[in-house]
């Protein structure tokens, strides 16, 4: 573990969430008055008591400074805000739960969506109607009592809409595909302030683009998504000591290449801080965390599938067992407290023994790098198959994803992107040219963003963006973070 990680594990949130210099509020004040006259109730400008809390997301590294916050409580609020922004030549950015936004909003209007959060489950249709600003946890809470599962990601605290727009790779993804493949319809505010619906028959092109195109395609106010009939999984995590890293990763790489589509799995080298809430064997340790989720009713068969992993050696913690889907967060055990994140990701076409050794040399337990997580996820299975209504999700032919998160230490922020790029560069021979938008971060370079989609898909997405947002109100940056 890097020395700074040991000594600085707690982050001073106040320093990161407030800015000493607020932007000029003149334009924000004009927008404020116009929106107030239009009946938009919840408006915040710099200096208002609720302003810092409204703009704070999960990633504390990103400290926004908008001229005006529109805390939307309806699609109409958002439509008014977009129209007024267009009239005043202000940019518009949308904030969900703040897990993924990379661009620091400096000026303009920031629309927050948690006021639209809602979930209605239709058990007969096996669908959920979900408002923007909703966390996956709320959908889990509403769906799992009916034996139905939403295809959430590793952390149920992530926002539903941001996750879906970027594809969405969850703990049972190899069985069911991308979460975006299971979206039935979306309601969207366009760059001209129109409220439109996108489904396979109404605006099919926008429907195609929103599911995987991620940015600059409008502000989604509501989605209808399919739930899958899944009450339990055989799932959880195996924690191995750092001394076993090479054996675990090499075994996992071989094993994960052969497992059936019923098995979704990932592995991460974690450099854990000495926090009191962590179980004692993990506290302050570097460990290897293998995650498994098997869609089956046959516990004996599942035990046999996991056996080669257990055979590697003693585990610090072994918690792979039959799990109610309501507890799916136990598979990854992602952090739940907001933290500053510097991250970067890539897709791999292959993961052979040399690739594992290259990754271990760059970021394994022996490498002196300030990284909290280096994660490999096995893709393929249903992720590789186009859904009934094709969408813009890239990277379907990739075999693995790699995702790297730096230590949450502000003093290291200037150097972390270079260190993360170094880890990704070590995997160059195995890299796919494509990327998953949800796994691109501030350490990725413009070429990663540009190349996420193949040229044809990218051109098609740009055509939809031009139609949806002819004035460029959403400020989509084709070269970088959004
Ligand atoms: C701890 C953690 C675990 C994660 N696990 C996974 C995982 O397992 N699988 C996976 O695929 N991803 C995962 N992600 C990535 C996550 O899915 C994306 O970052 C997602 O965009 C987060 O959405 P949000 O609302 O929380 O974030 P925000 O930062 O609020 O939004 C991110 C972006 O989504 C878009 N967006 C959000 N709301 C709207 C809206 N209403 N209309 C239009 N655009 C909108 C915007 O472009 C915005 O910049 C994880 C991220 C974290 C931090």
By the 10 Å C-beta count (0-12 exposed, 13-18 middle, 19+ buried), 418 is classed as: exposed
Measured from the Cα of 96, ligand 1's closest atom is 30
Q: What is the pLDDT of residues 184-228, one digit of tens each?
A: 999 999 999 999 999 999 999 999 999 999 999 999 999 999 999
* 54, 58, 94, best to mutate for ligand 1 pocket (most atoms within 8 Å of CB): 94
H or E segment to which residue 462 belongs = helix 455-468
Give the pLDDT of residue 27: 80
Do residues 474 and 227 make contact, with C-beta atoms less than 8 angstroms apart?
no
Distance 294 CA to ligand 1 centre (A): 25
Q: What is the chain's mean pLDDT, rounded? A: 93
Rounded CA-CA distance 17/28 in Å is 20
162 lines ligand 1 (CB under 6 A): yes
Query: Is residue 378 exposed (0-12), middle (13-18) or buried (19+ Cβ within 10 Å)?
Result: buried
Question: How many Å apart are CA 156 and CA 168, to the nearest integer?
Answer: 12
Ligand 1 atom at minimal distance to the Cα of residue 59: 53
How confident is the model at residue 25, as a pLDDT? 55
Nearest to 66 by CA among 30, 23, 95, 36: 23
Q: What is the reported pLDDT for 16?
A: 33
Tell me if 191 sits within 8 A of 473, measured CB to CB: yes
- Is ligand 1 within 6 A of the CB of residue 213? no
pTM for the structure as a whole = 0.94
pLDDT score recorded for residue 422: 98
Q: Which residue, by CA, sits nearest to atom 23 of ligand 1?
A: 162
> What's the count of helices (H) and strands (E) in the chain, helices before strands?
15, 19
Best residue among 104, 158, 465 to mutate for probing ligand 1's pocket (most ligand atoms within 8 Å of CB) is 158
Per-residue pLDDT, 8: 29
Name the residue with the closest Cα to ligand 1, atom 45. Answer: 162
103 lines ligand 1 (CB under 6 A): no
| Residues of the chain falling short of pLDDT 50 | 1-24
Atom of ligand 1 nearest to the CA of 216: 47
Q: What is the pLDDT of residue 2?
A: 33
Distance separating alpha carbons of residues 370 and 416, to the nearest angstrom: 8
* DSSP letters spanning 179-194: GGGGEEEEEEE-TTS-
- The secondary structure of residue 469, as a DSSP letter, is -
* 66-116: pLDDT as tens digits: 999 999 999 999 999 999 999 999 999 999 999 998 888 999 999 999 999
- How many degrees, rounded to 5, is the angle at CA 481 between CA 475 and CA 482? 40
Which among 117, 159, 270 is the best mutation to test ligand 1's pocket, defined by most ligand atoms within 8 Å of the CB?
A: 159
């Amino acid at each position: 573990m890097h020395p700074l990680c040991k000594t600085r594990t707690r982050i001073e949130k106040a320093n990161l969430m407030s800015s000493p210099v607020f932007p000029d509020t003149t334009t924000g004040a004009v927008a404020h008055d116009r929106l107030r006259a239009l009946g938009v109730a919840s408006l915040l400008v710099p200096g208002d008591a609720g302003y810092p809390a409204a703009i704070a997301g999960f990633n504390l590294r990103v400290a926004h400074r908008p001229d005006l916050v529109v805390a939307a409580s309806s699609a109409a609020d958002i439509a008014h805000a977009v129209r007024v922004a267009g009239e005043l030549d202000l940019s518009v950015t949308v904030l969900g739960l703040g897990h993924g936004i990379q661009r620091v909003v400096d000026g303009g209007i920031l629309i927050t969506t948690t006021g639209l959060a809602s979930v209605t489950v239709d058990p007969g249709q096996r669908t959920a109607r979900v408002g923007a600003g909703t966390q996956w946890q709320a959908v889990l809470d509403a769906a799992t009592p009916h034996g139905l599962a939403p295809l959430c990601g590793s952390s149920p605290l992530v926002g539903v809409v941001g996750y879906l727009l970027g594809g969405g790779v969850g703990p049972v993804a190899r069985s069911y595909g991308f979460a975006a493949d299971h979206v039935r319809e979306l309601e969207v505010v366009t760059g001209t302030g129109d409220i439109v619906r996108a489904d396979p028959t109404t605006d099919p092109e926008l429907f195609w683009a929103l599911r995987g195109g991620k940015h600059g395609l409008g502000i989604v106010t509501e989605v209808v998504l399919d739930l899958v009939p899944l009450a339990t999984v055989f799932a959880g995590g195996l924690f191995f000591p750092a001394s076993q890293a090479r054996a675990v990763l090499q075994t996992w790489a071989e094993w994960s290449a052969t497992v059936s589509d019923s098995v979704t799995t990932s592995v991460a080298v974690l450099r854990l801080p000495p926090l009191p809430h962590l179980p004692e064997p993990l506290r302050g340790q570097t460990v290897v965390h293998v995650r498994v989720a098997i869609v089956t009713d046959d516990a004996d068969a599942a035990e046999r599938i996991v056996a080669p992993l257990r055979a590697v050696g003693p585990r610090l913690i072994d918690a792979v067992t039959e799990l109610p889907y309501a507890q799916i967060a136990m598979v990854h055990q992602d952090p739940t407290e907001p933290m500053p994140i510097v991250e970067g990701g890539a897709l791999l076409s292959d993961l052979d023994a040399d690739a594992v050794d290259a990754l271990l040399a760059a970021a394994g337990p022996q490498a002196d790098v300030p990284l909290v997580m280096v994660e490999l996820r096995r893709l393929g299975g249903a992720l590789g198959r186009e859904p009934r209504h094709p969408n813009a999700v890239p990277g379907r032919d990739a075999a693995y994803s790699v995702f790297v998160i730096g230590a949450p230490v502000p003093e290291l922020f200037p150097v972390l992107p270079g260190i993360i790029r170094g880890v990704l560069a070590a995997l160059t021979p195995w890299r796919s040219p494509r990327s998953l938008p949800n796994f691109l971060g501030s350490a990725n370079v413009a070429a990663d963003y540009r190349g996420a989609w193949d040229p044809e898909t990218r051109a098609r997405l740009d055509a939809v963006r031009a139609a949806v947002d002819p004035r460029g109100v959403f400020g989509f940056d084709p070269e970088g973070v959004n």
